[in-house]
Chains A and B, each alone.
Chain A
Amino acid sequence: MDETQAIQAAQEGDLAAFNRLVMAYQGLAYNVAFRIVGDADAAADACQEAFLSAFKGIQKFRGGSFKSWIMRIVTNACYDQMRYKGRRPADSLEAVTEKSENSPKLINGRERPEEYALRHELNELIQQGITTLPPDQRAVLVLSDVQGFAYQEIADITGVSLGTVKSRLSRARAKLRDYLVEYQELLPAQYRLGSR
């Protein structure tokens, strides 16, 4: 069963077919959600609610990119999570480091422990930097630079014009760059901006 068939079956109420779509996109959805909201539990909640919403509303899907459609729902669910949880002040860098036990870890078998530690530290800093951005900029930045979506796809997902995508991305990158520059003394030399 290909994607089109799965979508059609899901529109007829076939939950198993819809779950095939979930399986196909849940990894991407969770990654996007995690990077946008910056919290594992909130990201999981966003994904669960997004897929439930998607099933309920799949009749509204009229063709085009299902990936963009589902990512739009996921992104909106992330906004909801941020709306509730994001009212808190941004966590301090120390707090993020302390929370690292709960952070996802991927260990590359060829990587030495110290390299892994440095990379992990860098990723923590970047993630913290992302969460300092306004929600609309976060979403565009994550979709573009972490997930590699094209500008037009991002425009479709976020429901804004191409020009808005460009300007949000430009501001987001500049702010994140400034954030990383501000904290780069915490990082080893090879990760410092402008040092390569």
Chain B
Amino acid sequence: MADQNGQIHSQVAELLSAYIDDEVSADERALVEEHLGTCPVCVQDLTTLRQTVTLLGDMPHVAAPRPFTLRESDVRPVRDTARLAWLRLPWAQGLVGAAAVLLCVVVVGGVVLLGRGGMIGAPAASEPIAMEAGPAADEAANEKMVVETVVKEAEMVLEAEKEVERALEAPPPAPAAEEATTELGLAMEAPAEAAPVEEKLDAADDEGEALMATQPARAASGGAPTLSATPAPMSTAAPAPMPTTTPGPAAEAMPAAPPSPTPTLLEVEDLNLEIKPGVIRARGRVPLPEGRKLLARLWRDGQPIEWAIIESQRLVVEAEGQFYLVLIAQAEVPDFDLFAAEPANYEIRIRPVDPPAQVEIRIPFDTYGPARPAPTSTP
């Protein structure tokens, strides 16, 4: 008898919430009301639950801090890119075409990109199911980031100081950089070096194994550093800055590359960088005029990689030089989760387009976690 009463009590306790909303069947209602006549605990529970619901309903409406209307610049590249991709389809080659085609599938089809979990049918970010099903990997990645951020904060400061010193010793601006300065009407920082940065980086990447083996690239020696002349002040949310890889012996042995303008590196202020599986978000302020169109690209160990879908690489400078970049991984990119891939040095490189200018924003980070303790042998 006591067991039966206990069962009824538990059953009614479960039903009280729906009972408040009149979302119970006639039988359930009868059961609840009969039990309430004999159980002061459930009566009290019902009272406090009702009060809780009332309090929630009385919470004030919160005004949105800004309108969320979209601009042409937010969406136009999507349609342009998609159209071009379809036109190119018969000749599609390489990842650019594939990425654009994937874009159609991904964006319109609603395949989940953010956070791995996913579903078809809603074009949004990931599903609740993904939260429930397998947060462990994401959690591990996020925790890794947090730990890494803390561990490297001290290094970050030291690196920043060193970079400033190096920048002060750098040669005066190249003519191309001066031109860009004039074009944009900006106060430029001194370019780091005269040789083409990308050429050198590409060459250096031929020696990728050696460079990757030095953990991280800051350990590489020789050559002038090519990181932004004044490293961006980074928020605590941002991983440590990474000096751009420097040319190794192989790079020096390469035939002289045709001269190309060296981009002048722009400082990013108030940088906030978030990296999670499939998504990289960066926001901050750059000395560029409002409305300037930018294109971002992810580099790994000094080599540009096709990681993000094309439309997500575009952005426009907003008021007061603010930018907000969201890089969304292609659905089938092998290194969807950068922190699950082989550790590497990354950079988000952002350049003005339409018209192009010889300036560049670089946001470095790496996925080398803190040193792990040696595994202990188990009996």
Contact = CB atoms under 8 A, between A and B. Distances in A.
A57 B68 CA distance: 16
A66 interface: no
B68 A48 contact: yes
A177 B20 CA distance: 14
Interface string A24-50: 001101110011000010001001111
Contacts, number: 198
Contacts of B21: 144, 151
B48 interface: yes
A180 B54 CA distance: 13
Nearest to A193: B48
A14 to B, nearest CB: 11
Contact of A52 (B61, B62, B75, B131): B75
B128 A22 contact: no
A76 interface: yes
B17 A83 contact: no
Contact of B110 (A60, A87, A169): A60
Contacts of A167: 14
Given A40-B65, A83-B115, A87-B142, A106 B60 contact: yes
Contact of B122 (A76, A82, A123): A76
Contacts of A77: 124-125
Contact of A54 (B62, B124, B130, B274): B124
Contacts of A74: 124
B61 A126 contact: no
B51 A135 contact: no
Interface string A177-196: 10011000000000101101
B62 A30 contact: yes
Interface stretch (B132-140, B208-216, B262-270): B132-140
Q: Classify chain A's interface size.
A: 35 or more
A23 interface: yes
Contact of A123 (B60, B130, B142): B60
Interface in B314-344: 326
Contacts of A13: 79
B47 interface: yes
Nearest to A168: B17
A80 B109 CA distance: 19
Given A57-B124, A76-B124, A104 B63 contact: yes
11 contacts: A19-B69, A44-B66, A57-B108, A58-B123, A60-B122, A160-B128, A166-B23, A170-B18, A173-B52, A173-B53, A177-B52
Interface of B: 14-18, 21, 23, 44-45, 47-49, 51-53, 55-57, 59-72, 74-75, 78-79, 107-110, 114-115, 119, 121-132, 135, 138-139, 142-143, 146, 274, 276, 279, 326
Given A76-B126, A159-B128, A169-B17, 5 more contacts: A60-B123, A79-B115, A126-B55, A169-B18, A170-B18
